Amino acid sequence: MSTRIELTVNPGEDERAAILRPLRAYNVAQAGDPKPEAIALLVRDEHSNEIIGGLYGEIFYRWLFIELLAIPEQARGQGTGSRLINMAEEVAREKGCVGIWLDTFDFQAPAFYQRHGFTEFGHLEDFPPGRQRLFFQKRLA
């Protein structure tokens, strides 16, 4: 088979899917079906019903990855973040997850995750420059 490599800046979903297809097939052959499932916990404005924040995650290989957690400015300091994390943990337990993992920047309240039982398992220096990207996990018993 003859191949060539080309650079595509800002590829579309079709290109991403084409790359993902053989990777998923290989992963399934090696580790079994990851049983992927997306979840979202939506924070809505009580008056407009508009989504103003929340938590988005994906479960695969029995781990919940929290991809997004956003607390709107007007809801900070009221326990909204704690409620979201606790609800996500409850969902993860119901789905039989081994644990939860996430990444965050050092300026995005890593102490919040530590207070909720998460431990750091890695970090990247200078991402963004002069800061750190932190990786946390919480194993569920």
Right CATH for 33-139 from 3.30.530.20, 3.40.50.1370, 3.40.630.30, 3.30.2350.10: 3.40.630.30
Report the candidate in 93, 36, 98 with the shortest Cα–Cα distance to residue 67: 36
* Mean pLDDT calculated for residue range 112-133: 98
Q: What are phi and psi of 127, to 5 degrees?
A: -135, 90
pLDDT in tens, 58-108: 999 999 999 999 998 888 889 999 999 999 999 999 999 999 999 999 999
Report the candidate in 38, 59, 61, 42 with the shortest Cα–Cα distance to residue 50: 42
pLDDT at residue 1 greater than cutoff 90: no
CA distance 119 to 106: 14
- Answer for the pair 86, 101: CB distance below 8 angstroms, yes or no: no
CA distance 92 to 139: 10
Considering the chain, what percentage of its residues have pLDDT values greater than 90? 93
CA distance 121 to 106: 14
Q: Give me the torsion for CA of 140, 102, 9, 24, rounded to 10°.
A: -10
- Residue 93, pLDDT score: 98
- Residue 38, pLDDT score: 98
Q: How far is CA 24 from CA 7, 13, 73, in A?
A: 22, 15, 38
pTM of the model: 0.91
* Mean pLDDT calculated for residue range 119-127: 98
Q: What are the sequence ranges of the domains in the chain?
A: 33-139
Considering the chain, what percentage of its residues have pLDDT values greater than 70? 100
- Residue 76, pLDDT score: 86
